[in-house]
Structure 1
Amino acid sequence: MSVLRTVAVSTLAVSALALALPLPAYAADGSTPAKPGKASAVTAELALNVTLLNAVKVPVEVALNKVESPAQRDGAMLTATVDGVDNGKPVNLVKAQVGKSVTKVDDKLATASVQLVGADVHVPGLPLTTLLGLDAMSTEVTCPVDGQPTAKVTAPVKLTVLGKSVTVGLNSPTHVDVPAIGSVDVEFSKKTVTSSTAAASALEVQVSINPLNLNVAKVDGKVTVAGVSCEKPVAAVTPAAATSGAPSPSGSAAGTAQNRTAPKEAGEELAYTGSTGTTAMAAAGVTLLVAGGAAVWMTRRKRAAHARQR
């Protein structure tokens, strides 16, 4: 009986283990929803650190016409009050004839564009000296759902930096030194394009000046002019339906299950229709049954031999 009891316990244990084994996971049938694209644009953005004469640092982070898809904004003036500068009076940071940021997104395309005309950009401490002066400048990026993203920048007709006329280079930043004021590095047409995104800025300006005016000892940081970016939409995906050879309601055979080729053999068909786990359990049961029967037969044979010896 001890052998039979052992076989029974083993059979139950292995059967429980077989039941506990996970069945193969298959992707749920259905469509993957479309993912909308993204787009952003800013006419001008200033990220500066203003150090006052008493060594107090005042961050200045402001933007003109900063929008995210889908939206647009028109604005030609950017004014900010900087603590400790010019007795708390508003500082005109950007003044333009035209400033426009536009973003658009749908299931086919994401775009962003900026147009800037007749603009002057100032920094705190230099109210009478224009950091940047430009006649006209524009940027545009496009991210189509079924194409390569693109970025385009139109150069300004005229550009001045701290009152000096400047011709910006295409391959490296242009460095401008102004005695008794400081230095400015101007990078034109900075673009980044990948398989799914695009970004561009008409001008990126690194500022390091010492105006010593209006209680300002130093200004450093970055100014971005006409910055845009986009990310392409992702189209909806409809996986092909599984088939057992029967025609679809439309009269044509349905496609095979996603990530699975059509079965060719009868045995493969059984696994394909989701019976793999059941088949494995049945095989395990047969194996256990045979093993249990053999154990019982061996036990009975030993008992008979023992009885004959008596």
Structure 2
Amino acid sequence: MFSTTGSSFGMPARRLAAAAVTSATVTATALALAAAPAHATDDGTADATVLRTGLDVSLLGGTARVPVNATLNDVHAPADADKTALTVTLDGVEAGKPVSILSAETATARATADHRAAKGYANLVHAKVHVPGLPLLSLIEVRQVTSEAVCEAGKKPTASSNVLGSVSVLGKKVTVTTAGTTKVSVPGVGDVRLDLSRTAITSSTAAATALDLDVDVDPLKLGVAHVRGRVTLVRAGCRTPAGPGQDTSGTAAPGTGTDVKQQAAAHPDARPGKTDLAETGGSSATPYLAGAAGLLVVAGGGAVVAARRRKSARERG
């Protein structure tokens, strides 16, 4: 009986430790494979929008407040996307009659993204935008406006907006400048603040908006008392892809890194040129090595316990 017990617990300590080490190695390898960093092949992102409204419409007598949140040709990537719808119509705002928010000859939004580049593009030609309560007077009329944002791996992002031809706001022609803010006031109708050709560029993102309108009109027609909010025309944006095999340490090419990734440069232990640096600045192998070390400690403890049991069994025999 004791010999059977000895064969169960009397396995040589070295053999048991070796088996435990093998198990620890396999487990650590599996963890490393399952949690391998994915940022080295991340695709970028892109978006484009022809029209976006965020308006609050108050009806006469304060009977109701109707939000008017409309979009036209709003696209997003990584999956390639392209839309060319030409009109936006809403029901139930002007005494139950449909309202044409936007009509255009051409309205295009396109967004593409992969591991090499992300691009957003929007274009609007011969367009009119209306708000509820102003059926005969356009909020804005444009001849052609275009926005484009390009984010390529290893390059600085770019963004641009172009407003070509004349622009009219509430029936008044507006002098088009390269960029800036213009305010238009029409007595008995309302006020519009117009921002032209706004761009925002960081080390890894870019965005461009051709026209951004802050609207405050009080038409007092068709049961509409007040319209307030924002209208955005022709916007494009993007985020730089990591790119295959791209170095994500602090020595990355300008325009492709972020503040978090730059932390890697503050650690002299990091090997130059490695692509497996975690965003906190340490090597991505660190948690796996720590896990394997923990398993080895457990294995060593198990070997000691087995040796003690084997010795005790011999003494009893």
TM over 0.5: yes
Q: Is the 8 A contact 1:129 1:163 kept in 2?
A: yes
Name whichever of 188-197 and 161-170 sits farther off.
Answer: 161-170
Residue 39 in structure 1 maps to residue 49 in structure 2: no
Q: Is the 8 A contact 1:169 1:187 kept in 2?
A: no
CA deviation profile, 1:158-196 (whole Å, cap 9, x unmatched):
100000000144554211110111100000111111111
Match of residue 146, structure 1, among 133, 149, 154: 154
- AA partner of residue 174 (structure 2): V
Corresponding residue number in structure 2 for 1:78: 88
Q: Is the 8 A contact 1:168 1:187 kept in 2?
A: no
d(CA) in 2 for partners of 1:230 and 1:188? 20
- AA partner of residue 146 (structure 1): G
Q: Is the 8 A contact 1:182 1:210 kept in 2?
A: yes
Q: Is the 8 A contact 2:180 2:197 kept in 1?
A: no
Match of residue 163, structure 1, among 171, 196, 204: 171
Corresponding residue number in structure 2 for 1:182: 190
- AA partner of residue 123 (structure 1): V
Corresponding residue number in structure 1 for 2:137: 129
d(CA) in 1 for partners of 2:295 and 2:121? 56
Query: How many Å apart are 1:34 and its aligned residue?
Result: 1.3
d(CA) in 1 for partners of 2:57 and 2:202? 35
Q: Is the 8 A contact 2:179 2:198 kept in 1?
A: no
Q: Which runs of 5+ in 2 are unaligned?
A: 1-27, 248-272, 284-288, 301-317
Task: Kindly name which structure, 1 or 2, has the bigger radius of gyration based on alpha carbons.
Answer: 1
d(CA) in 2 for partners of 1:166 and 1:257? 52
d(CA) in 1 for partners of 2:206 and 2:229? 24
Q: Is the 8 A contact 1:60 1:82 kept in 2?
A: no
SS in 1 for 2:234: strand
Residue 48 in structure 1 maps to residue 55 in structure 2: yes
Q: Is the 8 A contact 2:143 2:166 kept in 1?
A: yes
Q: Is the 8 A contact 1:31 1:236 kept in 2?
A: no
CA deviation profile, 1:196-223 (whole Å, cap 9, x unmatched):
1111110000000100001000000000
Query: How many Å apart are 1:31 and its aligned residue?
Result: 6.1
Percent of aligned pairs sharing the same letter: 34
- AA partner of residue 74 (structure 1): T
d(CA) in 1 for partners of 2:76 and 2:232? 16
Match of residue 104, structure 2, among 93, 96, 110: 96
Corresponding residue number in structure 2 for 1:203: 211
Residue 109 in structure 1 maps to residue 117 in structure 2: yes
- AA partner of residue 229 (structure 2): G
Change (3 A) 1:258 1:197: closer
d(CA) in 1 for partners of 2:275 and 2:74? 46
Change (3 A) 1:178 1:144: same
How many residue pairs were aligned? 240
- AA partner of residue 42 (structure 1): T
Question: How does the TM-score come out when normalised to structure 2?
Answer: 0.66
Q: Which runs of 5+ in 1 are unaligned?
A: 1-24, 240-254, 262-270, 283-310
Q: Is the 8 A contact 1:31 1:238 kept in 2?
A: no
Q: Is the 8 A contact 1:139 1:153 kept in 2?
A: yes
